[in-house]
Structure 1
Amino acid sequence: MSESCQSQNIRWMDVLYHLLYDVHRVESKIENLEKSKRDMNKEIRTLKHRRNTVCESGVIKLYHGVHRFSWPYVKHIYFKKHFEKPPVITYGIFTLDTSHKKNTRFRTDVVYITKSKFALKLRTWNDSITYGVGLSWMACGK
């Protein structure tokens, strides 16, 4: 093989090497772009879901002397707008007024949840004396 042919072969090998190197870099960039696209699509789905989520909240306050009630007490809460399906209910006690002479025993349970309402059951047991309770609640759904 002549020197000029060998020289041309070397140049072609260089060109081929650089082309393969560039192809590898482009493939790597395409993989990164595809991953970014998947991540963005996931975020878009999350945002769409969040946009359709509606929440309603309220407060329940029961105090002897102000309200007439006995334990157990069931509070039915009606939503201002109906949900498409039963929402998720979150609640917490922010006030619990009990006698210092007896043990404090208090329990809350969600009795039922529908698209239009839910009920909380509040109760004490044994010799506990509870004068009042305050709860906040939040219902979130579509």
Structure 2
Amino acid sequence: MSFIAKLKLDGEEMNILHCAYRFTQATDGTGKPTAIPQGGSVTLVIESNGNTGLFDWMVSPTQTKSGTITFYRRDNMSKLKTLQFNDAHCVDYYETYDHNSESPMQVQIILSAKEVKLNESKFKNNWPQ
């Protein structure tokens, strides 16, 4: 089965080329959890479009954004799942150009979100106000 993914942010929709997110929980030597779950980090690679909004977000130490990543089944464009992030900081921005690539200009960003919702399941970081 083939999939596509779209990022919706600030009223703009962007094509996602790669997406990764992870949640972890520290364990002891027996594998028993010893700490609260941690997460909220989302890594995205998107097609560059000339807009500097993502760069502006990265260089602002206080700016947060909320958005959605939707994964679709390519055969009939039905929604597989949605990852929603709220109060996210852009903590890493890396733009590349490769003349020989099918997608020659790409932007990789890493987001650190206060809250992440995967379909109906919610994770919230306990950040101070």
The TM-score range, normalised by the shorter chain, is: under 0.3
Question: Which protein, 1 or 2, shows the higher relative CO under an 8 Å CA cutoff with sep ≥ 6?
Answer: 1
TM-score by length of 1: 0.25
Between structure 1 and structure 2, the one with the greater Rg is 1
Which has the larger helix fraction?
A: 1
Name the structure with the higher strand share. 2
